């Protein structure tokens, strides 16, 4: 799989091999397993691929493992965040994971019919479910109260159920139950074409349409040996940073709402609306959809009005964020809330602003630059406190960085072609490629397995950053209080659709 190095490993040697590759627990954010996924082989068997980052500037390593009699050893006892990937493979592919510390359903909830969706064609009818309670630790004591919140929640929140076990206002245990609206998006790619795949990728998570499409297109381009033209590369960066700017402003509006700052709530969402109007005027889509395609762009964009629009919005954004920083009640609610230590962030697989707020210095735009980022001067904001205030500071500073990057791109971009469908380098012999982007919420990956003869996908794996950060989030909730919960959740900026897929 390009641009990765690869190594075939037996199931029996998997743990020993990882012990050699990752011999010490030094909390290096650049040397860590990133994801794991299964795929059907043409001979009818299964293969599991483990993606390992080997350091900034170094290619990813793919460990390719054939299960031994449909069984694999669990890695979750050494790499805790791998527990979700293993449970996902069990639910969707029926793989048996030996020694898993949490052998419970994840994607298909308790009570689901005994079916593994990725092993069969899409069913005509929904999977049947019987009512069954979630698997949670036993809570003993008359003073312990249980609060199931959701899956239908107030406002426009996405569907999920959160179980709280608490005494008074103190939270003893918190159990998020996602995947109520799991759409089987990865399976939808199977048998689809390159253009259809671009449309699907933009609809995984509405708030990260560009980040998903960018990672998807780059994975396909590296598999096919295509190189998008320079103008297309710069416009891709511009769209990615506009999306980051839009999402971060939405984040501050939501955070102000949770800290009961009604005016700041309205101002934040109004600033978000202004950027969405810029997006719409530039591309025809407030969500920046319909522009990216494999090989470059579907059509060119007129960027002449963008510098003036950015100048107009920057002054208002700077004033807004400065007033938030000077609001004592806002700071009091954020400082010390939802603290995530560097150790837990590493062990549980945090990514994006969440990991950078806990002192882990990693951003794919700088460390494994893609598109045009290698030619830009990029500053990566860092914090170490790991609390809600630190996470807000990261996003506040990233707004400033995004505006700077947008201006750099506008200075460097030149007229030229916007699309290619010709190979500039040798394609991957197996039609495999790995693409990535640093989305608003963190590292996002697409691994594609494409059959160039039939011109269809055999498998597409999507790793959304919220899948990682939802795994991390409960560790900041337990031993806190119910009054801080909503603020803590808002400070993570999580997407349920991105995790559920």
pLDDT in the model for residue 121: 64
pLDDT in the model for residue 123: 59
pLDDT in the model for residue 225: 94
How many CA atoms, within 13 angstroms, populate the side-chain half-sphere of residue 458? 18
- Mode of pairing for the β-strands spanning 145-149 and 161-167: antiparallel
CA nearest neighbour of 254 among 240, 271, 278, 239: 271
CA nearest neighbour of 357 among 344, 376, 375, 374: 344
Query: Can you say whether the dihedral through the CA atoms of 295, 300, 306, 307 is positive or negative?
Result: positive
The pair of three-digit structure tokens given for residue 438, joined into one six-digit string: 């640093």
pLDDT in the model for residue 124: 63
- Name residues whose C-beta falls within 8 Å of residue 310's C-beta, 6 or more positions apart in sequence: 278, 403, 406, 407
- Whether pTM > 0.85 for this model: the answer is yes
List per-block mean pLDDT (blocks of 10 residues) for the chain, which spans 501 residues: 94 93 82 94 92 92 94 94 95 94 89 82 71 81 87 79 91 91 90 96 92 97 95 97 97 94 96 97 96 96 95 95 95 95 94 96 96 94 97 97 96 94 87 96 97 94 95 94 93 91 83
pLDDT in the model for residue 182: 87
Tens digit of each residue's pLDDT (9 = 90 or more) over 5-56:
999 999 999 999 999 998 777 788 888 999 999 999 988 899 999 999 998 8
What letter does residue 423 receive in the DSSP assignment? Answer: B
pLDDT in the model for residue 364: 97
185-500 classified as CATH 1.10.645.10: yes
Query: Which residues belong to CATH 3.30.460.80 in the chain?
Result: 5-107
CA nearest neighbour of 285 among 218, 203, 220: 203
What letter does residue 445 receive in the DSSP assignment? Answer: E
CATH class of 5-107: alpha beta
pLDDT in the model for residue 140: 80
- Name residues whose C-beta falls within 8 Å of residue 335's C-beta, 6 or more positions apart in sequence: 387, 388, 389
Query: Which residues belong to CATH 1.10.645.10 in the chain?
Result: 185-500
What letter does residue 68 receive in the DSSP assignment? Answer: B
CA nearest neighbour of 252 among 274, 267, 242: 267
pLDDT in the model for residue 120: 76
């Amino acid at each position: 799989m390009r641009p990765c190095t690869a190594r075939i490993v037996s199931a029996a040697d998997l743990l020993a091999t990882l012990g050699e590759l990752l011999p010490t627990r030094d909390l290096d954010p650049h040397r860590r397993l990133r994801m794991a996924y299964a795929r059907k082989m043409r001979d009818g068997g299964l293969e599991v691929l483990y993606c390992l980052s080997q350091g900034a500037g170094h290619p990813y390593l793919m460990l390719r493992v054939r299960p031994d009699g449909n069984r694999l050893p669990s890695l979750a006892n050494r790499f805790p965040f791998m527990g979700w990937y293993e449970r996902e493979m069990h639910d969707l592919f029926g793989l048996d994971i030996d020694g898993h510390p949490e052998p419970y359903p994840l994607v298909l909830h308790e009570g689901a019919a005994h079916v593994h969706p990725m092993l069969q064609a899409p069913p005509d009818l929904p999977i049947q479910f019987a009512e069954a309670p979630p698997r949670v630790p036993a809570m003993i004591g008359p003073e312990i109260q249980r609060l199931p919140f959701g899956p239908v929640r107030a406002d426009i929140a996405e569907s999920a159920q959160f179980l709280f076990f608490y005494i008074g206002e103190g939270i003893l245990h918190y159990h998020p139950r996602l995947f109520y609206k799991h759409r089987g998006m990865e399976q939808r790619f199977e048998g689809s074409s390159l253009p259809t795949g671009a449309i699907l990728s933009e609809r995984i998570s509405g708030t990260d349409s560009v980040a998903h499409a960018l990672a998807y297109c780059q994975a396909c381009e590296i598999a096919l040996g295509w190189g998008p033209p320079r103008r297309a590369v710069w416009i891709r960066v511009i769209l990615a940073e506009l999306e980051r700017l839009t999402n971060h402003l939405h984040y501050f509006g939501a955070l102000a709402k949770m800290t009961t700052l009604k005016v700041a709530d309205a101002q934040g969402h109004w600033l978000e609306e202004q950027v969405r109007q810029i997006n719409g005027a530039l591309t025809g889509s407030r969500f920046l959809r319909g522009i990216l395609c494999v090989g470059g762009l579907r059509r060119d964009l007129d960027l002449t009005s963008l510098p003036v629009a950015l100048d107009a919005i920057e002054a208002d954004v700077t004033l807004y964020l400065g007033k938030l920083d000077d609001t004592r009640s806002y700071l009091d609610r954020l400082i010390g809330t939802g603290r995530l230590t560097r150790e837990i962030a590493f062990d549980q697989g945090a990514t994006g602003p969440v990991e950078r707020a806990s002192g882990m210095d990693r951003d794919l735009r700088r460390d494994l630059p893609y598109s045009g980022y290698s030619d830009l001067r990029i500053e990566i904001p860092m914090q170490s406190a790991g609390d809600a205030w630190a996470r807000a500071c990261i996003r506040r500073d990233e707004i400033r960085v995004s505006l700077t990057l947008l201006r750099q791109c506008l200075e460097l971009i030149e007229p030229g072609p916007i699309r290619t469908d010709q190979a500039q380098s040798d394609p991957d012999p197996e039609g495999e490629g790995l693409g990535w982007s640093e989305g608003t919420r963190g590292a996002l990956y697409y691994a594609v397995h494409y059959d160039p003869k039939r011109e269809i996908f055999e498998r597409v794996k999507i790793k959304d950053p919220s899948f990682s950060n939802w795994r991390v989030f409960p560790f900041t909730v337990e031993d806190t209080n119910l009054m801080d919960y909503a603020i803590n959740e808002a400070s993570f900026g999580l997407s349920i659709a991105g995790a559920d897929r």
